[in-house]
Amino acid sequence: MIENYPTTLLELEEQFATDEQCRAYLAALRWPEGFTCPRCGGRKAWPAQRGRLICAACRHQTTVTAGTIFQDSRLSLRLWCRALWHVTSQKNGASALGLQRVLGLGSYQTAWTVLHKLRRAMVRPGRDKLSGRVEVDETQVGGVMLGRKGRGIPSKSLVVIAAQEEGNRIGRIRMARIVDGSAEHLHRFIQGAIVQGSCVHTDGWKPYHGLDQLGYPHEVSKLKGQQPSAATELLPRVHRVASLLKRWLLGTHQGAIALTRQTILPLGTASSAAAAGSLSNARWRRKQPKTP
């Protein structure tokens, strides 16, 4: 169903022209095999007013939006679908102001609430750990920052990166700043970022030892020779991520980058495509935040 997601503004307008169309789209996402009563599992329902569905077996009333971020919202589903589309199609992230403008919302506060509801829903709760085969390595980022008296203050930070293997490509990634490259910190990161039972692929750095005992089949590739290129070939995905991270930091901070102790890199960095994809999993959250 996610394949039917509109890719152009025109498709969006045609596909989600009415609340009825939006509801049908959500129903197909929620019940791909057809309606299923949340109370008795019954497969047949009668449509009632205002999008309500009455289970033919137990008379339980439900809606396609029950338990989702759209539940009880005073905003129309058409508006929500447009907001969703806008947020997921902005390469550099949507802003509340942009959303307010695009949706023609009277209040900035409403736009802000909508944006944050969508952002929260785009994080997959409890399902965010990497799995399968995962490369892990650390990298130094940052450099020398000029102090008050013009002296250089070393401000390098150690960042540990995990990159899920997807064929030859990089799957999902996780990274975190760690105090040092000790077993304590590396193991803690791995346990927080990777599902137990996944194969963790590292270089021969001693502190990685013991991963097997923690329930992670451990694959070690040792460096042959001292060429830096050898390390890149050994764990190509984490090294690609590391160089992208460094380039991003340079671009963002124009060289004057200093990661302080408080700086924590996002543990989940999702591409816009991944964010759009994960929406299908995140849409039906149990929590029911307040209506904007």
Q: How far is the CB of 38 from Zn ion (least distance, A)?
A: 8
Residue number, 52 or 188, with CB nearest to Zn ion? 52
Q: Does 179 bind Zn ion (CB under 5 A)?
A: no
Q: Does 40 bind Zn ion (CB under 5 A)?
A: yes
| Contact window for Zn ion (CB under 5 A) among 33-41, 213-221, 258-266, 272-280 | 33-41
Residue number, 6 or 42, with CB nearest to Zn ion? 42
Residue number, 65 or 110, with CB nearest to Zn ion? 65
Residue number, 60 or 188, with CB nearest to Zn ion? 60
The owner of tokens 């990661």 is: 259
Q: Does 37 bind Zn ion (CB under 5 A)?
A: yes
Applying CB under 5 A, among 42, 51, 132, 207 the residue interacting with Zn ion is 42
Site string for Zn ion, 46-65 (x = CB under 5 A): ---------x-xx-x-----
Q: How far is the CB of 77 from Zn ion (least distance, A)?
A: 23
| Contact window for Zn ion (CB under 5 A) among 37-45, 175-183, 267-275, 284-292 | 37-45
Residue number, 44 or 127, with CB nearest to Zn ion? 44
Residue number, 39 or 169, with CB nearest to Zn ion? 39
Interacting residue ranges for Zn ion, rule: CB under 5 A = 37, 39-40, 42, 55, 57-58, 60
